[in-house]
Amino acid sequence: MAKILVLDPNKERGVDVPRELLTQQVEEILQDASIDVFVEVIGGIDPAHEIIRAALASGRHVISANKALLAQHGAELLAVAEANGVHLLFEASVAGGIPIIRMLQTYLTANRVREVSGILNGTCNYILTEMAKTGREYEEILADAQRLGYAEADPTSDVEGFDAAYKLTILTNLAYEAHVQTDRIERQGITQLTVADLRLAEQKGYTIKLIGSARENQGAISLSVRPRLLPADHPLAGVHDVYNAVKVNGDVVGDLTFIGRGAGELPTASAVIEDLTLLLSGENTIRRPNWNRCLEEQVGTADAESSAPTGLYISLNCSDLEVQTLVDAQFEESIAASGGYIAERLATHFKGGIKRAYLVGGVREEQVKQTVDEVVQTVPHVQLCVILPIEGDVHPGVEWSHNTSVHEEKDSYLEVL
């Protein structure tokens, strides 16, 4: 016998559901001995947490699409499942229809995972794609996304990177067989990005995407959810609209990339049914994820990204050309003094003045932040916009002189800003 727990049995639904299957009483399902699998698609922490724990404790398998719950309480719930000889499966919790959970859990046994990174939030990918395509700013595109049902009325979890951080937590736990706390993940959303940033990056062949990334380097794992500049040949650079993608790098197999719909009724249902058929095909063959170890104990976590020299995109709003010249001089001097170099200087006009952007290399992010703080404090009428990591190497560009001013660069960009 099947039963469906709902809040409101009288709600109009897009599908025909026999009324007698609906219930508001979870006890009715828990006490029905004929039910041996729970599918949890309630969302949120409470009451989903209690319901899943009770279902597992009563010897029922659970399939869940709940990334927030799994990221926060997955280790505890997996332990309850193991203690009761049942399984907790969660393919739908990350990247919708992409079978990335199963892949990490069962396939890459011959590999040590070096990196798992991806476009994990379809709402952000849609917004960034539309901004780049139409030249319309973030707020306008967000309003469209809300109208189209791609963004929630309160978009914070998506646009500030919380949703992607939950998914990255789950992927990291699986890839490194350990348990990471979501709040250890460095997080930067997309709300500060402007069309000018996307255009300036594009001018140098880069696409800006919100990337969740876990990378192992010499025994430490750096974790972040941030907008990044991806070069055109990066496997995630061409993944647009509401699509998700996950790139896994294994030491034997190299790069693998999976692309698909990260949300929506059917991709989510597809992942849930895949879990169901996995259970039906034989519980004994299902590998149990091991999330008992704390990640720090196993491999350590580190802010490796901000403590190693890297390529960075920095954009600042300057009120006019005179201010930009002062900023250039101070910025150039400080970056050179910290052993880095400016590979590219870009500029474009916008309503409030000039957006000045630099692509820098060979310098630590912490140093760049310090330099920018000093510039903003000493030069009047300057405002920091964003500092973003650049994927791949940033090479020193051609010699630059102060004569390369915004006037020579503005023409092809003025019309779109």
Residues that bind ligand NAP (CB under 6 A): 5-8, 11, 41-43, 47, 65-67, 92, 96, 263-264, 268
Nearer to ligand NAP, 123 or 317 (CB): 123
Residue 327 has a CB neighbour count (10 Å cut-off) of 22
| HSE-CB for 11 with a 13 A CA cutoff | 11
Helix-then-strand count for the chain, H and E:
16, 15
What is the nearest approach in angstroms of ligand NAP to the Cβ of residue 90? Answer: 10
Nearer to ligand NAP, 276 or 326 (CB): 276
Nearer to ligand NAP, 40 or 197 (CB): 40
The total number of residues shown for the chain amounts to: 417
User: CA nearest 247: which of 115, 393, 129?
Assistant: 115
Active site residues: 167
Nearer to ligand NAP, 7 or 252 (CB): 7
Q: Report whether 250 contacts 215 (CB < 8 A).
A: no
Beta-sheet pairing, 382-390 with 113-119: unpaired
Residue 288 has a CB neighbour count (10 Å cut-off) of 12
Residue of minimal CB distance from ligand NAP? 43
What is the nearest approach in angstroms of ligand NAP to the Cβ of residue 144? Answer: 18
What is the nearest approach in angstroms of ligand NAP to the Cβ of residue 265? Answer: 7
Alpha carbon distance 106, 288 (integer Å):
10
SS3 261: strand
What is the nearest approach in angstroms of ligand NAP to the Cβ of residue 122? Answer: 8
Alpha carbon distance 349, 415 (integer Å):
10
Element (H, E) at 101: helix 100-102
Nearer to ligand NAP, 67 or 356 (CB): 67
Apex CA 163: angle with CA 159 and CA 167, to 5°? Answer: 140
Q: Report whether 357 contacts 314 (CB < 8 A).
A: yes
What is the nearest approach in angstroms of ligand NAP to the Cβ of residue 106? Answer: 21
